[in-house]
Structure 1
Amino acid sequence: MLSLPEKQIYILAISFMAAIFVAALVRLWLVRREEERLVKNKDVLEKQIVLQQKDLMTVRQESNAWRTEMQRQFDLFRHMASDQLGVEEKRFNDLLAQSTRREYELQTALALAKDMCIELPSAKARILHLESLLGNPRPPSDNDGGLPVTNSPVCPLPDLGGGSPDAPFEEPETEALTFTDAPPPEIEKQADIPPAPDVTPEEPAQAEDRLSELEQKLNDAVKKNSFLQQALTTARLRSRPHFSKTVRKTRAKQRA
């Protein structure tokens, strides 16, 4: 038989082991609960991961679609820009050709104007010479109808061909011309010009009166038009209920 001290030692050892066993059971129970919680969290996290993967795939698809759309729009814009650039280049080339042709026409007109200006003094001198010849009185002719011969020297015509001014003028030899018919009729100095219409001083006054009358009618029509527009606007505003209430309130305030 064991003595009491030995039994106490065994009892203490068994108690200690039982306490350790209970603590292990409690720890195991706690670990089990923690494991269950972690498993639940794992399921939740897996679901979140799946959702995030779905979102990521959706975002990737949207980004790819957006990139494709942007590329399509960029290609379309580049195509439109190239077409617009071609149209503008064609327009610029047409304008350049038109401006070049216009410049050539203006240069040609300028050259012709310069040539005409160069020929203007000689033409003016010839015109003055012809006017002086036409202005001289006609000398009397012979009875036999021959061309009268004047004793005054013949004035030479200006050289329009651009000859040298220092060259002497040689008067050609003229033969006497005879006419069997009657002498030519005298040259009329003045052409038949229709007389200007007589303008009485009363016509401008009548025109001014008529103009002032028309201006007065125009001003009256403008005033009438503005009055009709104002009346139409007032009628449109009165047809609205809010405007009617506002007018009533305003009239009530004025009466108060």
Structure 2
Amino acid sequence: MSLEGRFALVTGGGRGIGRAIAERLARDGARVAVAGRTRAEIEETAAAVGGVAVELDVGDRAAVAAAAERIGPVDVLVNNAGTAESAPFDRTTDAMWDRMLAVNATGAFALCRALIPPMIARGFGRVVNVASSAGLVGCAYSTAYCASKHAMVGMTRAIAAEIARTAVTINCVCPGWVNTKMADDAIARIAEKTGRGEDAARRSLEAMSPQGRMVEPEEVALVVSMLCSDEARGIHGQAISVDGGQVMR
């Protein structure tokens, strides 16, 4: 699965799944632009993979448009940047709803709109959108998050239908609970709201997978890198679960 000579842009690449993806793509030969909001994190990751750091808030449409123009043509786009918050649906504020959609769906759409047409013109492109198992099923207390990840999956399928006759593919990867800071934050919230200890809260999330564990970021990165390869050209418009069998369709 060599990516030699390919230039990849990974959003949310400073930590967690994004960093693992940047590291995997670089190991497989790609030159990687690591994008994110936290300069120290993206610069550290970029230095580790021999890439470049791009300060970017994907929730800012103007910033996304400017970054796409500044970065120039890319061969591989990985829309990984995301945010997660939880609340009962009747306590989900307009601000939370707008924030979830802006970061988790609209930013990815804006980058697809800017970067896929040049890929088509050059005769090669790979787009991988990192969604979530929450983009495939409903989850209580996560209305805004589920809506944003369902939007990403739907957007991916719609774009795939339009560009199927080109040399560009677009797919989603849908992780379940992944052993990252985002999971740690969720565990802390669960422990606080339920009065259970963090160990018990972690076990409750692990129990959602038939494998009884969280997925590691490197496992998600492997699937992303595979989808970016030349050999994966037959995989198009798919939403691939990486969740230990939590969602089976």
Task: Confirm or deny a common fold (TM above 0.5).
Answer: no
Q: Which gives a bigger RCO, structure 1 or 2 (Cα 8 Å, sep 6+)? A: 2
Which is richer in strand? 2
TM-score, scaled relative to structure 1: 0.16
Which is richer in helix? 1
